[in-house]
Amino acid sequence: MPKLKKILLIEPDKLLGDILLCAFKEAGFDLTYATNAQDGVSLADEIMPDLVILELQLISHSGIEFMYEFRSYPDWENTPLIIYSSVPPAEFNLSQDCMLEKLNVSKYLYKPSTSITELIRASRELLNSANIKQSKKSHAGA
């Protein structure tokens, strides 16, 4: 049986976290969630996620702070990361370059208008393309 892909969700609202947990499990992913940035970093260290889904509005440390911390570790430099937030993406128009290049954000999905199905589809696509990149790298290495 193939190993389930590990997803780390950082979602401050417990109810939404529970709903996404249920939907992603059903879709065949191994999702774990944290409700704040600090727990998110500890969990990432524990489970070594294949993908991170992140809300930007968190208590104390924001999602942006989490990303700076997360990307500072070589192991997680290229881990696909989806922002799934209630903050409209238009608010980041001026800092888009920083988001895409420095923080290596794979996708920005606006929470109110993105359904669970769309989020699962986006996650699957990113995991597949990460897989392809990985296998190309290992072929080149061989």
Binding site for other proteins (CB under 8 A): 12-16, 19-20, 22-23, 26, 35-36, 39, 55, 57-60, 62, 86-87, 111-112, 115-117
In which residue are the tokens 């780390």 written? 8
User: Least distance (Å) from other proteins to the CB of residue 16?
Assistant: 6
* Strand order, beta sheet including 81-85: 30-34, 6-10, 51-54, 81-85, 107-110
User: Least distance (Å) from other proteins to the CB of residue 91?
Assistant: 9
For residue 110, the surrounding DSSP H or E stretch is strand 107-110
User: Least distance (Å) from other proteins to the CB of residue 108?
Assistant: 16
Cα(first)–Cα(last) distance of the chain, in Å? 26
Closest CA to 108 of 129, 128, 90: 90
Cβ-based nearer residue to other proteins, 16 or 130: 16
Cβ-based nearer residue to other proteins, 13 or 30: 13
Cβ-based nearer residue to other proteins, 57 or 78: 57
